[in-house]
Amino acid sequence: MIAETTTYIDNQDALIDFVSILSRAEACAIDTEFVWERTYSPALGLIQIATESQIGLIDPLAVSDLSVLRPILEDPSIVKVFHAAGMDIPILRDSVGCIPSPVFDSQIAAAFLGIGSQVSYSFLVDHYLDVTLEKSETITDWVRRPLTDKQIKYAAEDVHYLIRVYGKLISELEGRGRLEWAEEEFLGLINPDKYSDTDPAELFWNVKRAGSLPGRDLVILREMTIWRDKEARRRDLRPQFIIRDEALVDIAKSRPASTQRLSSIRGVGDRVLARYGHTLIELVNKGVNAPDDQWPTPRPRKRISPLKAAASDLAWASIVSRAVEAEIAPDLLATKSELKNLVEVYPELNGSKFRMMTGWRKEIIGEQVLQVMAGELAVGVHPKTGVFFVKSST
């Protein structure tokens, strides 16, 4: 049951009044609801913000200027609390005009407490508050009006309980001396580089199977992906709804010189051919005629030797063992990809390149990983629990 005052904000004056309330808070929980199925960018449907006593459900389709929220989002004395903020932050940046700071992410905080990696909001609400949330509105049309009573209840609960879970998490992090660790991790969420758009001229590297193409085909693919992104933005469609990756790769490989030849390529249907056929042929010709010095250099595929892969797995086992002991999610300490990169350059390490070799991570697992790699520690399996353990190899 939600006890706070819940206000549906659908005009500018009401939003300004709510901002005044928020300005007196020490922390506020924030969530967004959006639809992202066919559009180029997410279509924002609702912004929910809660303090200990107030909930505001802000209708971005009715309010004329969301930038009045900016002083709240940028106020250093107000903590902005999210759960899994990776989507909410860029949406707020685009709709309000700034990246919120400082932030607290309950999903990351839970990982620092050993509750789990990427745990759900409903799990945390049940874990800390013994409340079971309904999931009936997890997939719904948030830009359709009017919103139903169920949608409004669901949206309000997303922030009502979050502000309370925040208090529990803060208390536990402080009690275990891990609040500073978590705050260091939160800083990565507000780094503008994390949300910067990819250079259109580099988008082709994200196309499936692009790595299998030689330089001449890559330059054709590059021209087509630059065009596709521009067209997708213009029509507000996801690029795959313009033409699919698979078709672009096949066009780049076959280099059709006519729309008739283009029509034989899988994925180029009548709709694509009628709307974009001549454009695609022009882009192919542009790529074919590009001088050699404009060709992208194919990226070599990273292949790790079986022995180095085994060493990486051994190091990962030691990290899992330490994570269980320290009650912290292993992925917070290091990733398997990071370990593979470390194994590739070992023993010539530049410590600053690897997160596990700096700050609090170095204290927990950095030195241990190096000792395992050097054969100074052995990794085993406990005969009863099955949990990995690390012991001296001597």
What are the respective helix, strand and coil percentages of the chain, to the nearest 5? 55, 10, 35
Nearest 5°: CA angle at 202, between 197 and 204?
115
Sign, CA dihedral 338-343-344-348, equals: positive
Residue 228 CB coordination number (10 Å): 25
State yes or no: is 185 an active-site residue: no
Secondary structure (3-state) at 389 = strand
CA distances to 4, 200, 236, 276 from 225, rounded to whole Å, are 49, 8, 16, 13
Question: Is the distance from CB of 130 to CB of 165 less than 8 angstroms?
Answer: no
d(CA 162, CA 30): 8
Q: How far apart are CA 276 and CA 268, in angstroms?
A: 10
Question: Catalytic residue among 40, 59, 88, 137, which?
Answer: 88
Is position 158 annotated as part of the catalytic site? yes
Enter the DSSP assignment of 184. Answer: H
Q: Which residues pair with 79 in a beta bridge?
A: 27
Catalytic residue among 59, 105, 137, 158: 158
The one catalytic residue in 154, 161, 166, 276 is: 154
Burial class (CB within 10 angstroms; exposed 0-12, middle 13-18, buried 19+) of 164: middle
Residue 17 annotated in active site: no
Q: Is 4 a catalytic residue?
A: no
Gap between the Cα atoms of 247 and 256, Å rounded = 12
Unique residue bearing structure tokens 């320290």 = 326
Is 154 marked active-site?
A: yes
Instruction: Please spell the DSSP secondary structure of 288-312, one letter per residue.
Output: HTS-GGGSPPPPPPP---HHHHHHH
- Decide: 39 and 236 in contact? Cβ < 8 Å: yes
CA distance 161 to 121: 9
Element (H, E) at 219: helix 215-235
Amino acid occupying residue 296: P
Catalytic residue among 33, 105, 217, 223: 33
Helix (H) or strand (E) holding 391: strand 388-392
Position 311: which residue type?
A
Which active-site residues does the annotation give?
Answer: 31, 33, 88, 154, 158
